[in-house]
Structure 1
Amino acid sequence: MTKKFLKFLRNSLSRREDRKLNALKTFGHWLFPNYRFSWPQLDWWDDPEFNEYLRKFEEPDGFNTHRKWMLLQLLRLTSCVPGDTAECGVFRGASSWLICAANRSNKNYARVHHLFDSFEGLSEPSVLDGAHWAKGNLAVGEDLVRRNLENFGNIQVHKGWIPERFANCENIRFSFVHIDVDLYEPTRDSIEFFYDRINQGGILLCDDYGFTTCPGATKAIDEFLEGKPEKMVALDAGSGFLIKGISTATKDIGIGQYL
């Protein structure tokens, strides 16, 4: 242990980036043995506009930056898909801000962005949701969200518990839908409503998919997609997406048989 600690100190004091990273990895494994680090030499970490966006929402040192970047990239795939956009579960509006920015920049379609939220936090978790969440978690007022999105027009806020306000949009088609409601029942209600209303080539992204803290959300999505050609593509930093009309292999493609 003494030798490992001395090596950690030497690496920590080094000017070399690779040795500092090794020190960080060593310290991280002492605190959280199963944590997996990633390489820091990523172009998007230095993207000035994206970093300014992260600062706006106090996210530069948060745990959501990878998923926000992925959201921004997936929006690019729908630039030529007709339809509005929607988010279920808005929190402070950080994801909707990116969606609205993509809508504003789109030269092909004038989209309306629809926001669905109670602004009272989570509903009561069920037994399928585990023990991580409690009723009222993640509550953010509507006024804050509206202020965060005040630079954008073409938004409609549908305040209420999911799925109460979905009827407002029953005749609307969509190009991009972001589901971020953490729990089984609202996730199930959301994908049941929006799946048939997403145009070919459109994307449904579930922020909570694949997180052990949100087992109900993952279960709701997988259950709904049984028998459907699309399956969720799980992303490495959490969340998952499907492209409407694109058949996808199941999660279990059997790599174990080749090991």
Structure 2
Amino acid sequence: MAWLKRTLTGWSYRYLRGTRAWAHARSPEIHHERLLPYASYAPWQGDQAFERALAQVQGKTLVDKYRLYELWSLARQLEHLEGDFLEVGVWRGGSGCLLAMASQRPGRQVFLADTFAGVVKAGSHDTRYQGGEHADTDIGLVQALARECGVADRVQLLKGMFPEENAERVTGQLALVHIDVDVYESARDVLNWALPRLLPGAVVVFDDYGFFGCEGVTRLVNAFVLDNPDFRFLHNLNGHAVLVRVGASHA
């Protein structure tokens, strides 16, 4: 239980009687337990292109290498599909630039949207975030990283609250959307804006699904998949929720 004590210090939680699970006091319906998957396959080991890209973005992202590899792999699998990529919640640009390095499809743009002033739209559905977190960044850091990674010509930076302030610059259809905004309302607004623009076969990745303290995003995804048969839902134990559009867009 030492891991729990370190991780949950200062947070409101309670253990579930008779189990090794716990829940946040503000989201008792979402249960957590310490996970230790038995599978040990590590495809990122020996993937030299990914290892080079990872080395370039380390320190510029809060996403661990396991989730970064999943983004890398999904981007590579989408080379056959038209459409641009969109990431909302960029921080210092690491995961967004990695997506741009992963995809070499001619003409594809990678839009990276962030307030660069911290988390916005925290509300009653959320448990940890109050707003303003992760403000230790600047659009200039992302621009510099894009140049260092050789993807500045394919990366389009959108500064401001998405989609209210800058979505008009994303004019085409989308093949991949990476939503890394930490809170319910912001994730919901991005998802609703993106839905009619997603091509069949397109992928939506939620970075914050299943993390203690990000129950708002978990609630959003759980509710969405119940009412949207045009999508298949994958819960990856690394902390991603992945939606794959299998039906046609209703735009």
The alignment's TM-score, normalised by the length of structure 2, stands at 0.75
Q: Is the 8 A contact 1:192 1:224 kept in 2?
A: no
Query: Structure 1's 31 and 209: CA in aligned 2 closer, same or farther, altered over 3 A?
Result: closer
Q: Does 1:228 align with 2:228?
A: yes
Residue aligning to 2:155: 155
Distance 1:171 1:72 in 2: 24
- The partner residue of 2:114 within 105, 114, 117 is 117
Residue aligning to 1:134: 130
Equivalences for residues 174-189 of structure 1 within 5 A: 174-189=174-189
Q: Secondary structure at the match of 2:188?
A: helix
Distance 2:244 2:73 in 1: 14
Q: CA deviation at 1:29?
A: 10
Instruction: Give the partner amino acid of 1:111.
Output: R
- Unaligned regions of 5+ residues in structure 1, if any? 1-26, 248-259
Q: Is the 8 A contact 1:163 1:186 kept in 2?
A: no
- Unaligned regions of 5+ residues in structure 2, if any? 8-19, 21-33
Q: CA deviation at 1:157?
A: 1.4
Q: Between the two proteins, what is the percent identity of the paired residues?
A: 27
Q: Secondary structure at the match of 2:222?
A: helix
Q: Secondary structure at the match of 1:128?
A: coil
Instruction: Give the partner amino acid of 1:119.
Output: F
Instruction: Name whichever of 165-174 and 142-151 sits farther off.
Output: 165-174
Residue aligning to 1:237: 238
Q: Is the 8 A contact 2:54 2:98 kept in 1?
A: no
Q: CA deviation at 1:38?
A: 5.7
Residue aligning to 1:93: 93
User: How many positions carry a matched residue from both structures?
Assistant: 216
Q: Is the 8 A contact 1:191 1:224 kept in 2?
A: no
Instruction: Give the partner amino acid of 1:122.
Output: V
Q: Secondary structure at the match of 2:90?
A: coil
Distance 2:204 2:239 in 1: 14
Distance 2:193 2:54 in 1: 31
Residue aligning to 2:142: 145
Q: Quote the RMSD (CA, aligned, Å).
A: 2.9
Specify which structure has the higher proportion of strand: 2
Q: Is the 8 A contact 2:57 2:94 kept in 1?
A: yes
Distance 2:6 2:217 in 1: 29
Please identify the structure whose Cα radius of gyration is greater. Answer: 1
The alignment's TM-score, normalised by the length of structure 1, stands at 0.73
